[in-house]
Amino acid sequence: MLTKIWTVDKTVENLYTYPQIIEAAEVLQKNEVVAFPTETVYGLGANALSDEAVNKIYEAKGRPSDNPLIVHISKMEDVDKYVEEIPEQAKKLMNAFWPGPLTVILKVKQGILSNKVTAGLPTVGIRMPNHPVALALIEASGLPIAAPSANLSGKPSPTKFQHVYKDLNGKIAGIVDGGETGVGVESTVIDCTEPIPVILRPGGTTREEIEGIIGSVGMDRQVKEEVEKPKSPGMKYTHYAPAAPMYLVDGSSAFLQETVDSMRKIGKRVGILTTDERVNTYQADLVVSCGQREQLSTVAHHLYDALRQFDQEEIDMIYGEVFPREGIGVAIMNRLLKAAGHRIIKEHTSNR
């Protein structure tokens, strides 16, 4: 398959009338798959009303079809078309954070969206992305757009056009190149079908921000365990993962360096994932910074690009630092734990 590339300047006014956007929208209307930028990561979009179109998402990604997809819209009033009801708490969250990196789970209206989108569940996740290219493309298509991240299943999500091209060139009809994304990690997913909303996936909108609008919310059991008591190695499959096995190191810089040195002594090529503050303190075959530890939003922004850099070198294993589990740090650690398959090496010292 020939993958068409449309380069779009996101600063242009009335983008939905832009020739490249119109052409990409017409491809979506033909039930083909088009990758496009959002404020979080690049999405792999298809007509959410069509089984044929949604199937092409799963085929391109190599993604299990029992994994539901998020529906992207361009106008608040579109929500009513696809859900049974919008609880008051959901309305407050939409008004506060849309357009933006928050996906709201609601009870789906039967018989409209493809069942492939909901994976047979009675609910659907909906969000309005905060990116001019995404909004223009959705508007021009006149469709709700189902879109997971535009990468091969299991790989780090794409935050640049180049990431999408590397993974999916030849597998999809087109890619809209709108430059680098902003937030860098996916949207927060919150289930608003229960009396007390529950965060199913931490992301670009923090728990603290949500609770500032609607009060206390729950946290899904699996996420809570990640935050409070990470599971032992091998308990979960990897996701967002580079090719080489990854380990998180919970300890001092010296301990991380010792761990790396022991592997290099037996001939392993080792990479380190760190931050700007420490990038020059380590010795390894490849040292990559993912941002500033003192400003975790920069770590979220650069995380997936940093993980992908290890695939460009012949690295045997990767050791990464851990981050505070608060604010956007919860989302960062959620992604890193999945990338590492929950493998954590802890430093044990007498004063700990």
- pLDDT tens profile 176-214: 999 999 999 999 999 999 999 999 999 999 999 999 999
Confidence class of residue 231 from pLDDT cuts 50, 70 and 90?
very low
* Cβ contact 69:46 at 8 Å: no
- pLDDT tens profile 69-86: 999 999 999 999 999 999
Give the other-Cβ count within 10 Å of 60's Cβ.
24
- What is the model's pTM? 0.94
* Cβ contact 285:274 at 8 Å: no
pLDDT number for residue 234:
35
Q: How far apart are CA 346 and CA 14, in angstroms?
A: 52
- pLDDT tens profile 250-281: 999 999 999 999 999 999 999 999 999 999 99
pLDDT number for residue 227:
65
pLDDT number for residue 334:
95
As a whole number, mean pLDDT of residues 99-122 equals 96
As a whole number, mean pLDDT of residues 213-229 equals 85
Q: Which amino acid is at 314?
A: E
pLDDT number for residue 67:
85
Q: Taking the CA atoms of 261, 341, 301 and 214 in sequence, report the sign of the dihedral they define.
A: negative
Is the pLDDT higher at 121 or at 234? Answer: 121
Confidence class of residue 238 from pLDDT cuts 50, 70 and 90?
confident
Q: Which amino acid is at 161?
A: F
- Would the pLDDT of 352 be above 60? no
Site of tokens 């020059």: 280
Q: How far apart are CA 317 and CA 338, in angstroms?
A: 15
- pLDDT tens profile 13-47: 899 999 999 999 999 999 999 999 999 999 999 99
Confidence class of residue 65 from pLDDT cuts 50, 70 and 90?
confident
Distances (CA, A) of 133 to 47, 104, 105, 155, 234: 17, 21, 24, 24, 39
pLDDT number for residue 332:
98
- Would the pLDDT of 223 be above 50? yes
pLDDT number for residue 229:
58
- pLDDT tens profile 327-346: 999 999 999 999 999 999 99
- pLDDT tens profile 279-332: 999 999 999 999 999 999 999 999 999 999 999 998 999 999 999 999 999 999
> Nearest 5°: CA angle at 300, between 192 and 62?
70
